[in-house]
C-alpha cells in the first residue's frame, strides 16, 4: 500500500487524537523494552558472571534484528495495514520479554534479537499514519512529539528498572513492561479497522531487501540524511547504553544515582525533541537546527572526556542534560526531512530505508565503544569517539542541505 492509496481516507479529529496517542505510546514502550536491560546491566552482569561492558554487544544484537524487519515493514503494512503492524511489533516485545527474563544467556541473546525485530516494525507504519495528521507547517513538530516516546521510554526504564531490580530482582522487574505492553495491544484494537481499511490481504510481505534503500539513495538529500542518521544513532545509543555503566564502574556511583543521570539525558531528550521540532517548523530551516544540535553534542562529548569522581553531582547531571537535549533530540526533525525531500507517495518505504542505514550506526557505535573499553580499560575516553561521530554527522548534514534540490528524475 502506498501513501497515495492511504490518503483516500480522512480521519476524524478523534481518530487523529487516538493515532497520536497510540503512536507515541507504542514507541515509548518499544524504547522502554529495548533499554530495560541496559538500565540494569551491572546487576544482570554480576548475576550472570560476565563483564558489564558487554552490554554494547547486546545492543548490537537488538539492532541487527531491527535492520532485518525495517526493510520488510512496507510489506507488513500492505498486507495488514499500519495499525495492525504497530500491534504486531508490540506482540513481538511480549515474546522477547519472556526470553530476556529467563536468566539464561542464550535465551537473553535470542530475546534481544526479537526485541529488534519488533523495533524495526514500529516506525515505518507510524510514518504512514502520522502523514495523515501532519501538514507541511507542523510536520517536524508532529514527528518530534511522536518521537518523544523514545526518551520517555528510557526514563521509565532508567527510573523503574534499577529500583525494581534491587527490590524484586532483575528478572521479576520485567513484569512491568510485560503488563504495560499487553494492555496497550488490547486498547489499540477498537480503532484498528478504520486505520487499516486500505490494507491488501493478498499483498506479498517479502520484497528484494535493498529496493527501498536504492529508492532513498536516488534522492541526494535523503541519501546524505541517511548517513547523518547513522552517525547520530551511534551517538544516541552509546549515550543511553553506557551512561549507567560508566558512572557505576568508573566514577563510583551507585545504581540509583547512575540511573538518575540516564534520566537526565532522557528527560532532556523529551524537551529537546519538542523544542527543536518547533524551531524547525518555525524557522523553516531544519538543516540549521540539526547542525546547531550537532555542534553542541561535540562540545558536550569533549567535556565528558574529563569526567572524574571529583565532579559535583549537579554538574554531572547538567552536562548529561545538555547532551540529552541535543544528542537525543534529532529524530523528529530528521524523519520529517526524510519524508519532505523523498517521494511523496512512499513514506513508509523511505522511513524503512532510512532506519536500515540508521540502525547500522546503532550497531557499530555501541560495539565500538565496548571494544575501546576492553582495549584501553577507560570508559570516559570513549567520549572522543562520540565527538568524532557527531562531527561526521555534521558533514553529512551539510551535504544534505547542499543537495536539497537534487532529486531523482
pLDDT per residue as tens digits for the range 276-301? 999 998 888 899 999 999 999 999 99
- CA-nearest of 262, 292, 294, 261 to 279 is 292
407 in a structural domain: no
DSSP annotation of 7: T
The H or E element spanning position 246 is: helix 220-246
Average pLDDT on 358-365 reads 78
Taking all residues of the chain, what is their mean pLDDT, rounded to a whole number?
Answer: 84
What range does the domain containing 21 cover?
3-402
Identify whether 74 is part of a domain.
yes
In a domain, 325, yes or no: yes
Q: Is the pLDDT of residue 308 over 80?
A: yes
**Domain count of the fold of the chain:** 1
Decide if 318 is inside a domain.
yes
Please report whether residue 43 resides in a domain.
yes
pLDDT band at 5 (very low <50, low <70, confident <90, very high): very low
303-320: average pLDDT: 88
Torsional sign, CA 169, 173, 174, 179: positive
What does the pLDDT read at residue 405? 53
The verdict on residue 385 lying in a domain is yes
Comparison of pLDDT for 183 and 170, the residue scoring more: 183
Q: Is residue 409 a part of any domain in this protein?
A: no
Residues in the chain: 409
pLDDT of residue 2: 45
Is 408 inside any structural domain? Answer: no
What is the per-residue pLDDT across 202-212, written as a single tens digit (0 to 9) for each? 766 766 767 77
* Cell numbers that stand for 62 in this block: 537488538
CATH of residue 150's domain is 1.20.1250.20
pLDDT in tens, 29-55: 998 998 888 888 878 888 887 776 666
How far apart (Å, rounded) are the C-alpha atoms in residues 267 and 270? 5
Residues 214-257: tens digit of each pLDDT = 888 889 999 999 999 999 988 887 787 778 878 887 788 887 88
Amino acid at each position: 500500500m502506498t501513501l497515495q492509496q492511504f490518503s483516500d481516507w480522512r480521519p476524524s479529529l478523534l481518530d487523529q487524537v487516538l493515532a497520536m496517542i497510540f503512536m507515541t505510546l507504542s514507541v515509548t514502550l518499544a524504547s522502554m523494552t529495548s533499554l530495560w536491560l541496559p538500565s540494569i546491566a551491572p546487576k544482570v552482569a554480576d548475576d550472570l558472571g560476565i563483564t558489564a561492558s558487554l552490554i554494547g554487544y547486546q545492543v548490537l544484537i537488538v539492532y541487527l534484528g531491527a535492520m532485518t524487519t525495517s526493510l520488510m515493514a512496507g510489506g507488513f503494512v500492505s498486507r495488514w495495514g499500519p495499525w495492525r503492524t504497530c500491534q504486531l511489533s508490540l506482540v513481538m516485545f511480549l515474546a522477547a520479554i519472556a526470553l530476556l527474563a529467563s536468566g539464561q544467556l542464550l535465551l537473553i541473546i535470542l530475546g534481544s534479537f526479537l526485541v529488534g525485530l519488533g523495533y524495526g516494525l514500529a516506525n515505518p507504519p507510524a510514518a504512514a499514519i502520522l502523514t495523515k495528521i501532519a501538514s507541511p507547517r507542523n510536520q517536524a513538530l508532529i514527528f518530534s512529539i511522536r518521537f518523544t516516546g523514545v526518551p520517555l521510554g528510557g526514563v521509565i526504564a532508567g527510573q523503574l528498572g534499577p529500583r525494581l531490580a534491587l527490590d524484586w530482582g532483575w528478572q521479576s522487574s520485567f513484569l512491568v513492561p510485560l503488563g504495560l505492553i499487553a494492555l496497550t495491544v488490547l486498547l489499540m484494537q477498537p480503532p484498528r479497522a478504520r486505520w487499516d481499511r486500505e490494507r491488501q490481504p493478498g499483498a506479498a510481505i517479502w520484497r528484494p531487501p535493498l529496493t527501498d534503500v536504492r529508492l532513498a539513495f536516488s534522492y541526494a538529500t535523503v541519501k546524505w540524511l541517511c548517513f547523518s542518521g547513522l552517525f547520530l544513532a551511534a551517538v544516541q545509543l552509546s549515550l543511553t547504553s553506557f551512561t549507567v555503566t560508566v558512572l557505576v564502574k568508573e566514577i563510583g556511583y551507585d545504581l540509583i544515582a547512575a540511573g538518575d543521570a540516564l534520566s537526565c539525558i532522557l528527560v532532556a531528550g523529551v524537551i529537546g525533541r519538542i523544542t527543536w521540532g518547533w524551531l524547525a517548523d518555525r524557522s523553516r530551516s531544519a538543516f540549521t537546527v540539526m547542525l546547531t544540535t550537532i555542534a553542541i553534542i561535540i562540545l558536550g562529548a569533549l567535556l565528558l572526556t574529563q569526567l572524574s569522581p571529583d565532579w559535583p553531582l549537579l554538574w554531572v547531571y547538567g552536562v548529561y542534560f545538555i547532551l540529552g537535549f541535543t544528542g537525543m533530540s534529532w529524530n523528529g526533525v530528521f524523519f520529517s526531512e526524510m519524508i519532505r525531500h523523498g517521494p511523496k507517495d512512499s513514506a513508509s518505504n523511505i522511513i524503512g530505508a532510512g532506519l536500515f542505514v540508521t540502525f547500522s550506526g546503532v550497531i557499530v557505535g555501541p560495539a565500538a565503544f565496548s571494544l575501546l573499553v576492553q582495549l584501553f580499560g577507560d570508559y570516559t575516553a570513549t567520549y572522543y569517539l562520540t565527538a568524532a561521530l557527531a562531527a561526521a554527522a555534521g558533514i553529512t548534514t551539510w551535504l544534505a542541505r547542499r543537495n536539497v534540490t537534487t532529486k531523482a528524475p
